[in-house]
Amino acid sequence: MSHEKVCAVIVTFNRKEMLLKCLFALINQTYPLTSIFVIDGPSTDGTEKALAEYNFIKEVPPHSNEIKVWHTENTIVQGSKRIKFHYVRIYDDVGGSGGFYEGFKRAYYEDCDWIWVMDDDVLPESTTLERLITALKITGYDAARPALIDCEDFSPWFAGGIFSRNIIKKVGLPLKEFFIYWDDVEYATRCQRNGIKMLDVREAKVHHKDWMHRGVNSRIVLGRIVARPAFPRGRKYYYIQRNKLYFLLRYRKFKALIHSLSIELIRDLIAYLVLKDVDKVLSIIKGTLDAFFRKTGKCEWAHAR
């Protein structure tokens, strides 16, 4: 098998311990990476200092209101491996979607064949990349994603998915306007509608607590259990509701849209009222309205508390 050059993209925000674990997992892949991009959005927990402490970067970015993006490069040497390391700090809060947009864009101009993307809380097994590349070479597909460890599901596409660099030429970049959530669903749908062949690889594994698997809030009412996802907490649920409906409208999935606006909407509103989660009730209402008004980007209301 000829060696395929792979560039990894990690989007991070205020999770330096997780980021370091992810980075060491990438460095120790049995299939060597050519380069790594860390897109920081921007963290306030000392992420940049942690990267400097572990010699991923040689200089810490300045704190300035005049800088929009700060980029530094370094070379990581791990035995016989030499990996080009990029740290990109975006001073505006562009969310995970903006981070993936920036990561895809920068990785496209690297000398690579594949772009492997993930959040900072993804932890691949040492053989994950090798198994993904092997499956892609055998099938001739253009994208693949691993399975989640201790779960029957496959990972979200932006939590360990790998994409041919040529996909960007055909379908463009992820939607940065989503800010967070549903950006990977939209991108995968866009790929599929443009004839991109996408593969699920059961043998490739990653640790990742997707938000659907982070527990539930529940109460017993009249002898019945009322339960809804606990994550995302508070008003951040706004992005789930807004972007889901925006996606359904964009791709004219009217049957799913009607179901979401009737059965799902009523069910969720009643459930969260019973659970006394007022923030989620308000998030669902505001997210629904903003989707129809085509509002995108960061919503300050969702971050007010």
The mean per-residue pLDDT over the stretch 20-31 comes to 96
User: Do 202 and 224 reside in the same domain of the chain?
Assistant: no
Q: How confident is the model at residue 78 (pLDDT cuts 50, 70, 90)?
A: confident
What's the rounded mean pLDDT across residues 288-305?
94
Q: What is the pLDDT of residues 237-283, one digit of tens each?
A: 999 999 999 999 999 999 999 999 999 999 999 999 999 999 999 99
- Model confidence pLDDT, tens digit, residues 110-126: 989 999 999 999 999 99
Please count the structural domains in the chain.
Answer: 2
Domain that holds residue 277: 214-303
1 in a domain, yes or no? no
The CATH number of residue 141's host domain is 3.90.550.60
- 1 confidence band (pLDDT: 50, 70, 90): very low
Share of residues in the chain with pLDDT > 90 (%)? 83
Quote the pTM value.
0.93
Residue of higher predicted confidence among 174 and 81: 174
Q: What is the pLDDT of residue 284?
A: 97
- Nearest-angstrom CA–CA distance, 221 and 224: 5
Q: How big is the CA angle at 174 (ends 164 and 89), to the nearest 5 degrees? A: 100
DSSP code per residue over 163-209: EETHHHHHH----GGG-SSSHHHHHHHHHHHTT--EEEEEEEEEE--
Of the candidates 197, 212, 227, which is a domain's last residue?
A: 212
Banded model confidence at residue 213, pLDDT cuts 50, 70, 90: low
**CB 84 within 8 Å of CB 75:** yes
Compute CA distances 290 → 24, 117, 156, whole Å. 40, 29, 25
Q: Which residues make Cβ contacts (< 8 Å) with residue 257, sequence separation at least 6?
A: 245, 248, 249
* Cα separation, 241 vs 257, whole angstroms: 12
Which amino acid, residue 88? V
